[in-house]
């Protein structure tokens, strides 16, 4: 089997019986629980889409595994990856940050960087390669958890003894023993596997590792927040009912990680190098920005629909707000294509998209996306709260609601349907979490800006200015 369909994805997740905790209770069947059902169904639809004949020239690589696992060797491979990501993103309006392509790309990027683990102490590039082959052969699904819990973020926090963070507490014949916590995993329990990696900057060797384990491994627990997807009405909650991905604290209660699943341990330098010099950042950012272009197009479309619905197009400030979104879309798309255009083949034969345009795009999106939601609020105004429910439209009030909530374009029900969509982007708990997600999920915007500053070849620009200063004619 090279690619799975939605039914197989659901069957596997239900069979796992992972230790997922919701509201203080162990979840029995995650695929049938109201907190998770919508997100799991949407994920299943993506797998079904992967199988559709008409899309297979995009969704499948020439070797018949999913394109999301493809390690790009040519510019055409990058283009194919972009098209796959955007096909899936269109199905979710870009609202599922963790559609399968995200983590499949992460694993492919680690495998594409295995040369950095060669001849390094406690590093196992062959195991990483074998695991990548297994994952793409079985079309495994993944979540990940990289960051330590948010306790002390002071620059000298590493001086504190910390028994909170997940760390290696023992090594046995069978494998590593891990104890402690990781900050969070989106879709914890909704995937076959979880990839666990030490964030760069581990200060002690027991905090440096990279491994993957099945989600139902003994001692592994996912502790969830409250779900934003419990209202299953598509009319009431058009996005939350379908694309709630859930976030969970990850606890390791003396978890045994078998040696064949350990790719790196107790080697701080190798763990850092894999992040800094490996292909994780450029390959993953290429996936992310491809999705963000589609999400921008969706939210832009929504803003245009609101402008048309209440006929406010004539006002200059309205045009200006929509133009802001158009410019954002053009900039993101240009940066994405620039990253492909400037991609370079590295020593391992991987076509690596250019980093700086992608870093620029994600850092801009961290600013753009909250502004998009603000623009929807500024255009939608009170329409974003005059939102009777689906049941209200099925009641004796129906006629009144259709009449008094009508616009020049729609009856009340259709107007509310549109505005509920905008509300789910810009105002609901789901919408706020989307904003927080786009601000932070790939890292703190402040520190991404620092990376942009540090990675830019500033000398070439200062030299240009210098030469100009001293030019005689």
Ligand X SMILES: Cc1cc2nc3c(=O)[nH]c(=O)nc-3n(C[C@H](O)[C@H](O)[C@H](O)COP(=O)(O)OP(=O)(O)OC[C@H]3O[C@@H](n4cnc5c(N)ncnc54)[C@H](O)[C@@H]3O)c2cc1C
Q: Which of 49, 147, 322, 356 binds ligand X (CB under 6 A)?
A: 147
- Contact letters (x/-) for ligand X, 230-259, by CB under 6 A? -----------------x------------
- Binding segment for ligand X (CB under 6 A), chosen from 144-152, 262-270, 401-409, 464-472, is 144-152
CB of 366 to ligand X, least distance (A): 11
Residue 444 is labelled as binding a ligand: yes
- Contact letters (x/-) for ligand X, 151-180, by CB under 6 A? --x-x-------------------------
CB of 441 to ligand X, least distance (A): 4
* Residue 12 interacting with ligand X (CB under 6 A): no
CB of 100 to ligand X, least distance (A): 14
CB of 144 to ligand X, least distance (A): 5
* Residue 436 interacting with ligand X (CB under 6 A): yes
* Residue 444 interacting with ligand X (CB under 6 A): yes
Query: Which residue's structure tokens are 């329990």?
Result: 189
What whole-number distance in Å separates Cα of residue 230 and Cα of residue 227? 6
Residue 153 is labelled as binding a ligand: yes
Contact by Cβ (8 Å): 59, 66: yes
3-state DSSP assignment of residue 142: strand
* Residue 185 interacting with ligand X (CB under 6 A): yes
Residue 81 is labelled as binding a ligand: no
* Residue 432 interacting with ligand X (CB under 6 A): no
Burial (Cβ within 10 Å: 0-12, 13-18, ≥19) of residue 343:
buried
CB of 431 to ligand X, least distance (A): 12
CB of 98 to ligand X, least distance (A): 7
Contact by Cβ (8 Å): 222, 19: yes
- Contact letters (x/-) for ligand X, 331-370, by CB under 6 A? ----------------------------------------
- Binding segment for ligand X (CB under 6 A), chosen from 54-62, 88-96, 108-116, 139-147, is 139-147
What whole-number distance in Å separates Cα of residue 334 and Cα of residue 340? 10
133 Cα distance to chain centroid: 22
Residue 11 is labelled as binding a ligand: no
Residue 261 is labelled as binding a ligand: no
Query: Which residue's structure tokens are 């502004």?
Result: 371
Size of the site for ligand X (CB under 6 A): 22
CB of 175 to ligand X, least distance (A): 22
CB neighbour list of residue 429: distance below 8 Å, 6 or more residues apart: 228, 240
What whole-number distance in Å separates Cα of residue 284 and Cα of residue 109? 7
Give backbone dihedrals phi and psi of 469, rounded to 5 degrees, phi first. Answer: -60, -40
* Residue 114 interacting with ligand X (CB under 6 A): no
DSSP string, 336-371: HHHHHHT-EE-TTS-EEPPHHHHHHHHHHHHHHHHH
- Binding segment for ligand X (CB under 6 A), chosen from 26-34, 158-166, 252-260, 433-441, is 433-441
Nearer to ligand X, 242 or 415 (CB): 242
Q: Count the neighbouring beta carbons within 10 Å of the beta carbon of residue 34.
A: 14
Shortest CA distance to 78 belongs to which of 320, 353, 466, 416?
Answer: 353
What whole-number distance in Å separates Cα of residue 356 and Cα of residue 363? 10
Cα 57 to Cα 51, 77, 253, 300, 340, distances in angstroms? 10, 12, 44, 29, 20
What are the residues binding ligand X (CB under 6 A)? 143-147, 150, 153, 155, 183-186, 247, 433, 436-437, 440-441, 443-444, 446-447
Q: Which residues are annotated as a binding site?
A: 150-153, 186, 444-447
Q: Which residues are annotated as a binding site for FAD?
A: 150-153, 186, 444-447
């Amino acid at each position: 089997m090279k690619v799975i369909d939605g039914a197989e994805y659901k069957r596997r997740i239900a069979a796992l019986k992972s230790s997922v905790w919701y509201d203080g209770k162990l979840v029995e069947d995650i695929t049938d629980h109201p907190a998770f059902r919508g997100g799991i169904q949407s994920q299943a639809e993506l797998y079904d889409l992967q199988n559709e004949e008409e899309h297979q020239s995009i969704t499948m690589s020439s070797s018949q595994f999913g394109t999301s696992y493809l390690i790009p060797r040519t510019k055409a491979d990058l283009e194919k990856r972009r098209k796959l990501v955007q096909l899936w993103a269109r199905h979710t309006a870009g609202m599922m940050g963790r559609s399968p392509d995200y983590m499949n790309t992460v694993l492919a990027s680690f495998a594409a960087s295995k040369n950095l683990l060669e001849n390094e102490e406690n590093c196992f590039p062959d195991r990483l390669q074998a695991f990548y082959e297994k994952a793409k052969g079985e079309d495994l699904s993944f979540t990940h958890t990289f960051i330590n819990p948010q306790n002390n973020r002071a620059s000298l926090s590493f001086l504190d003894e910390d028994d909170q963070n997940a760390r290696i507490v023992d090594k046995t014949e069978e494998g590593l023993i891990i104890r402690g916590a990781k900050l969070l995993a989106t879709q914890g329990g909704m995937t076959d596997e979880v990839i666990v990696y030490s964030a760069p900057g581990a200060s002690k060797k027991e905090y440096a590792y990279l491994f993957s384990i099945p989600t139902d491994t003994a001692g592994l627990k996912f502790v969830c927040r409250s779900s934003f997807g419990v209202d299953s009405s598509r009319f009431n909650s058009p996005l939350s009912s379908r694309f709630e991905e859930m976030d969970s604290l990850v606890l390791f209660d003396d978890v045994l990680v078998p040696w064949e699943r350990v790719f790196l341990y107790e080697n701080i330098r190798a763990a850092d190098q894999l992040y800094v010099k490996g292909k994780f950042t450029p390959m993953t950012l290429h996936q992310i920005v491809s999705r963000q272009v589609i999400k921008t197009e969706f939210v832009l479309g929504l803003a245009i629909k609101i402008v048309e619905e209440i006929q406010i197009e004539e006002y200059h400030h309205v045009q200006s707000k929509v133009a802001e979104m158009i410019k954002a879309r053009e900039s993101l798309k240009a940066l994405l294509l620039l990253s492909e255009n400037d991609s370079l083949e590295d020593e391992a034969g991987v076509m690596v998209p250019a980093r700086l345009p992608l870093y620029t795009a994600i850092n801009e999106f961290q600013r753009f996306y909250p502004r998009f939601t603000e623009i929807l609020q500024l255009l939608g105004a009170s329409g974003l709260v005059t939102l009777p429910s689906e049941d209200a439209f099925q009641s004796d009030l129906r006629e009144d609601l259709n009449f008094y909530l009508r616009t020049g374009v729609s009856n009340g029900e259709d107007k509310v349907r549109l505005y509920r969509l905008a509300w789910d982007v810009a105002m609901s708990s789901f919408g706020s979490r989307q904003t927080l997600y786009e601000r932070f999920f790939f890292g703190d915007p402040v520190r991404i800006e620092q990376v942009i500053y540090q990675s830019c070849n500033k000398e070439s620009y200062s030299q240009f200015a210098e030469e100009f200063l001293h030019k005689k004619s």
